[in-house]
Structure formats: C-alpha cells, structure tokens
Chains A and B, each alone.
Chain A
C-alpha cells in the first residue's frame, strides 16, 4: 500500500496563513469543536461517533471468565483498538501511530479506573465478568483520539450486561429476555480534548486531517465530568510554555461539559 503523503507545500502554507488571521480551512473558529454526532444502538454497547469526517465505532461485549489469580475479586476490562486500512490508505496495525492513539485511549479508560471492576465480580476467585471494549476506526478525518475516547465512554455507559443472582456457590446468569439487563457501574467519564500547535501562540482545538498533518506539536487533556484532570499527553513536538498548557486546560474544561451533555442527550434519546 502506498504510504500516506502529507499535504502539499501550497496547502500547508495556505493553512498557516489563514490560521494566522484566525481563520480555519473548514470555517470553524480557533476553539470550535466539529459537529459531534453520537448514535447508539441497536444493541447495547454499540456506539458510533462522527466528528464530521472522522468516524469511530465502539462495541462493548461481556462474558464470564475466571479472575486473574492476583485479583480474585475484580472483573477484567479488556481493551482492543487497532488501526486498519479501513480508516485511511496505508494505515496499519502495530505502528507507532497506532501505539500513540491506543495507549492514550487505554490509559484514559482503563488506568483512570473509569469502570468499577469490583462490581464485575460474581463469585470471588471463581467467576467474574470480562468486559471487552473494541474500538474500530472507520474513517480518519483527524483527531481520532477524541472521537475514540467519546465513543468508548458512551459505549460503556450504553452497555447492559445480563443480570446475575448468586445463591451460595451457585451463580445464575439470567437471559436478557427473562430479566432486564443491568448497566455497568462507572466511576467517572474521562474525555479527551486535543489541541494542535502551529508554532508561536497558535493553538487550535480539534484538528482536522489537514491541520493534523501540518501541526508541529499536539497536546491532549483528559478531564472528567467532575472537572478533574485524568491524563495529559504531549509526545514530542515543539516545546510549550506552561501558560499555553493552562490555557488549553481552561478551554478543555468548557468543552468537556459540552461533550458530556451531548453524550447524556444521545443516551437519553436512544433509551426513549
């Protein structure tokens, strides 16, 4: 497959010139997010997120398994996200780009302990739920990280697992038709907000593909609905001063509230 070719010099120059005047190529403001569309269903735990061209599908599924020997009372959250050539020509799994994106999302969901793993225990040391989160990148239009984190969190909230009753040493797993399935217990909803830098004081929110290919550095802030910082990520690129980071966090705070509202709205709309 042909390797991805970046934008031409003319395109990049045009982008930078207009950015210097405060204009973005897709007509947004500097701190505007693209139109976010979240669609849930038809099954539980299936959520598709559109950020204009960017499209990410998240699927949550579960099964019963034995717990890890060192954590007998905790369920397992498994995470899988692979870039494939579906999203863009020449994208492949097991590349540095994939590692950068999937590590970030994994860190946000798993290591910030968004899912209550103790609530996934059925019988200590014997049976626990294994919750699997699959993220499929369908279309790469820039800013995959944000779209993936929104899709992941929305899918986890949308998911329902079968109800279980424990009777002594016996665990009965009820069919979803027999008893209403129950939602997962989720501690908090971390959401990524990414910024692109173009040298100087220029900061841009939610980079599209052209901006992402032209940027000199990027920075991802992860916040939850309680306005707590969950993760920060800046992997290389030009150095930033602390003031810029402060500013990014301030902007991210406002955006995370908006995104959370969108997620709630979408979940409510499909529950109705």
Chain B
C-alpha cells in the first residue's frame, strides 16, 4: 500500500521540536510532525483570578488558537481534551491557589493536530518546570476505507478515513491510555489494532521528546559550567 507522501503504513512523519523559544512565557515548545506544527507557551504557577481560585490545587487553563479564523467548537473541544488530560498529570496539589496557563497556537494543521498539541503541551510544561506525574505523548492513526490502518494521517488521509483514533499515554503505556478519542465507524478489533499501533508510536514519540529535553538540559549545563 502506498500513501500520498510515500510513507509506510506504520511510519510517522519527521518529528521536529524546539524548546524555550519564547522569551515571555515561563516555558515553551514548538512541536512539528511533517507539516502539522503547534507552538505552546506555558505560564505557571502564577496569580489566579479569584473566581477560578481553588483552595487545594492549581487551576489549569488552556487556550487554543487555530491557524486561521476564530476558535470554533472543535478547537474548544481540543482545549478541554488538553485540560482534562493534564489536570491529572500535573501535580496540582503542590501549588494550591495558583494558575497554570497553557497557550496553544496551531501554526499549521495537516492532520493529527490534537496529538501534536498534547505533545507540545508536555514539552512546554517540562520546559516551564511544572511538576508532572509523567510525560504525556499522543499519537493518531486512521482506518482507511479498505480496512488498512495508517499511523499519523495527514489532513487528506483523515478526511477520507473511515475512522480516526487519537490516544494519549503516560510514560508507561501498560498503564492504559490517558485520553482516547475515536471518531467514525469502526469495529472492536479495528479499535484494538489502533490502540496497539498508537501505544508503540506514542512510546517512540516519548523517546524523541525525552531526548529533546535531555539535549536542552545538557546544553544548559555546558553553559553553566563555562561561566
């Protein structure tokens, strides 16, 4: 089977990430898979509005802005997905009565943007030094009309697919997914196959993110050592 961009069914697009680009945010990361690219800036823990203040934990706020046009319902949905995924993984109880704000800007949407947004948010939170239970990695795969399963679909592939599945996992994929989003028509065995594929893909993405963070810290350590 050939895909429009000549990838194998199980092959993800080239990953690229840059950490700490933004000067004003406490932590930031740009995560790109092929042409899908997301920038995330995190502030936290910072002062919280009285209305949102929680006595025993930090309040998490997510703002997502699409590449073109105003935020629509789907963008609001993605916002809530990111919030509910990270609400459990950020150690909120360590920073009561504060706010952790996650700003996500989609630079370009070429499929699997929800997964890219979750990955960018993880990297930005790590860059900001917000205590996390685990690093979260997400992956998407699509079931095409013939029954073939392709990982990391482009916008074109996702539009023609029978069903699209996004899973987010913590550091240990055996512990089950942190987030599942399945859309379209699918059978249980298709779902199970997608689950397995996304779990292995998420592990690979996580290894990539980990090496990016390690690279940045090693570079900073060199700078500190030199001065």
Contact = CB atoms under 8 A, between A and B. Distances in A.
Given A1-B99, A42-B35, A53 B23 contact: yes
A86 B105 contact: yes
What is the interface residue range for chain B against chain A?
20 to 34
B225 interface: no
B220 interface: no
Contacts, number: 70
Nearest to A134: B68
Contacts of B201: none
A134 B70 CA distance: 9
A88 B63 CA distance: 13
A57 interface: yes
Contact of A141 (B23, B46, B69, B101): B23
B47 A138 contact: no
Contacts of A82: 65
Contacts of B23: 53, 139, 141
Interface in B83-101: 99, 101
B173 to A, nearest CB: 31
A134 B68 CA distance: 6
Interface residues of A, number: 25
B41 interface: yes
A46 interface: yes
Given A55-B22, A59-B67, A85-B103, 19 more contacts: A1-B49, A1-B101, A42-B35, A42-B108, A57-B107, A61-B69, A80-B69, A82-B65, A85-B41, A85-B63, A86-B41, A89-B43, A89-B46, A132-B68, A132-B69, A134-B68, A134-B69, A136-B105, A138-B22
Interface of B: 21-25, 35, 39, 41, 43, 46-47, 49, 63, 65, 67-70, 99, 101, 103, 105, 107-108
